[in-house]
Amino acid sequence: MIDILLFAFFWLIATLLGEWGVHAMEARGLYYSAATSQALDGEKAVAFILTMLVPVIAFVVVMLIYTAIRFRSRKSLQFRDNKVFIGIWVLFSIALNILFFVHPSASALEQMFNNEEARLNRHDLIVNVTARQWEWIFSYPQYGIQTAEDSNGNSTLYLPVNQNVRFVLRSYDPYHTYDPNGAVIHDFWIPAFGLKQDIIPGETRLEYVHTNKITSYDVDPMVRVQCAEVCGPGHPFMEAPVHVVSSSDFMKWVQAQRKLEAS
């Protein structure tokens, strides 16, 4: 009985310390940076999973350490089993996996589908994203911008804050139409936005985000478009800076882009 009480005590202490650590990390932000509501939802999902797993991890670690010290034998090996404990552990593991399948996995998918359905009747900012080896091309059809570039001719992505954005994702090479089958799979990833989406040749895919923070690549390296699918020797350098700005600054940028394309 004393062993059970001691183990329960150490397990409780380890669990409390672990939960304190998880909540401390959650307060500071589990992601390096989060600039969309989708990224914040992802942080909540990770925090929920970690909160539920801390007692399990603490149980295993304390069990290994406690039994190694308390029941060590220098003379011969010891073997013990407890079928009741094994059965409870297996059933608990199954229940925990079912829980994580239902929440946050299935519940998050339902939330994403509901959000996308609600956005069908909204006036989202549409950004056409074209992936080619090894470059991103951004266009804004609502503003007549064919290729968003900075003053040096490099691709750049500007978005207004507090705005629903619909990315239309395609993979092909608009500069070499003689080889329509030459496109490869890319992956559209902005780390601070908390989402990834594969871009498949011959398919048009959509990704929705809601920006909620003014930020840019200049102050946060996670605010960039990065290809996350190995697509050839230029893959590591297939990136573009992202700028989330105020609505007024976004319109100023739109006017500057129009003048740049007209020149």
Mean pLDDT of the chain: 86
Q: Tokens 């069908």: give the residue.
A: 120
Q: What is the pLDDT of residue 160?
A: 96
Tell me how far the alpha carbon of residue 56 is from its chain's centroid: 25
Give the pLDDT confidence of 73-123 residue by residue, as tens digits: 666 666 667 788 888 888 988 988 888 888 877 776 666 666 665 555 567
* C-alpha distances out from residue 159 to 220, 224, 262, Å: 15, 12, 21
Domain 125-262 has CATH 2.60.40.420: yes
How many C-beta atoms lie closer than 10 Å to residue 129's C-beta? Answer: 23
Average of per-residue pLDDT across 222-240: 93
Give the pLDDT confidence of 178-196 residue by residue, as tens digits: 555 567 899 999 999 988 9
* C-alpha distances out from residue 5 to 12, 29, 68, Å: 10, 36, 17
Give the pLDDT confidence of 13-56 residue by residue, as tens digits: 999 999 999 998 888 877 778 888 888 888 888 889 999 999 99
CA separation for the pair 172, 202 (Å, rounded): 8
CATH 2.60.40.420 segments of the chain: 125-262
Q: What is the pLDDT of residue 74?
A: 67
Q: What is the pLDDT of residue 76?
A: 65
CA separation for the pair 245, 5 (Å, rounded): 57
Q: Is the pLDDT of residue 236 over 70?
A: yes
Q: What is the pLDDT of residue 82?
A: 77
Average of per-residue pLDDT across 47-76: 86
